[in-house]
Amino acid sequence: MKSLRIAAIQLTSTADWAQNLEMTKKWVGLAAKDGARLIVLPENVFLFDGKAMRYLADSPPQDEILKEVSQLAIKHSIYLVVGSHPSANRVTGEDVGGGRVRQSCLVFSPDGELIKRYDKIHLFDVAVNDKAGTYKESASIEPGDIETQIIDVDGFKVGLSICYDVRFPELYRALSKAGAEVLLVPAAFTYVTGKAHWNTLLAARAIENQCFVLGVNQCGWHNDTRQTYGHSVLYSPNGEFLAGLEEEPGYFVCDITDEVLLECRNKMPCLSHRRL
């Protein structure tokens, strides 16, 4: 039997990247002290300001932030997942057009190396009944290439996604077909949409793909108009609630085993019954 202790870190990030970085270091240290091997941060972890994304991607703080993240992974001997971070260039090295960036999920290994990058595919261009009203991520973010990204963490296959992706089940079906056993959903779900759909969507992705699903959300008020839902949570392959938070910054750690995964898949072999 293989096992993995994973952690979700829930934050209220702001437009102050230096302050966000310090809070991240604090919570990562605490989660690592509790034995977490895989630690996941939310979307927009170091900058909660869509208008400043290009600035952060192009400016000197970019190198400082990524260096600090690398050192955190080394210091605590962990896999550290940055839920999303603005990237100024495409994977190919070409410039992103129109001043836009890519919203990239970055995975650092225990030796501090950046081992995987997933660029957010689905962009949140919607109307929400809250103070912000209208959201248009495509104004500052370019969608990523259609591809699946999976990492190996101590024998577990872990699939990457970001926030709004969770509303598109075909991505998670592709990840499970590619062998994923754990699905990560770092997010900045608004309070209104989170209250309506966050837990339902995450549990559904877990049940239909028979995977552990970890949703790691931002929480609280980030500025005068933007409020996120919190309630970071881990679901089992059966859709059972395993661990979670409420609406304040914090973290949880939880052990998962392949025994639970295999029992679920063996008793109800849905993945082998698929026709499409």
The angle formed by the CA atoms of residues 244, 24 and 204, to the nearest 5 degrees, is: 30
Q: Is 254 helix (H, G, I), strand (E, B) or coil?
A: strand
Take residue 172 and report the two structure tokens written for it: 């998670």
For residue 248, the one-letter residue type is: E
Tell me which residues are annotated as active site.
43, 120, 163
64 CB-near residues (< 8 Å, 6+ apart): none
Question: Residue length, the chain?
Answer: 276
Residue with tokens 């900058």: 47
Distance (Å, whole) CA 104 – CA 200: 25
Alpha helices of 117-257 — where are they, by DSSP H? 169-177, 191-193, 199-209
- Count CA atoms closer than 13 A to 262's CA, side-chain side: 7
CB 220 within 8 A of CB 227: yes
Asked if 194 and 227 touch (Cβ cutoff 8 Å), the reply is: no
The span from the CA of 59 to the CA of 10, in Å, is 26
Residues 6+ apart with CB under 8 A from 228: 12, 188, 189, 190, 191, 194, 217, 218, 219, 220, 222
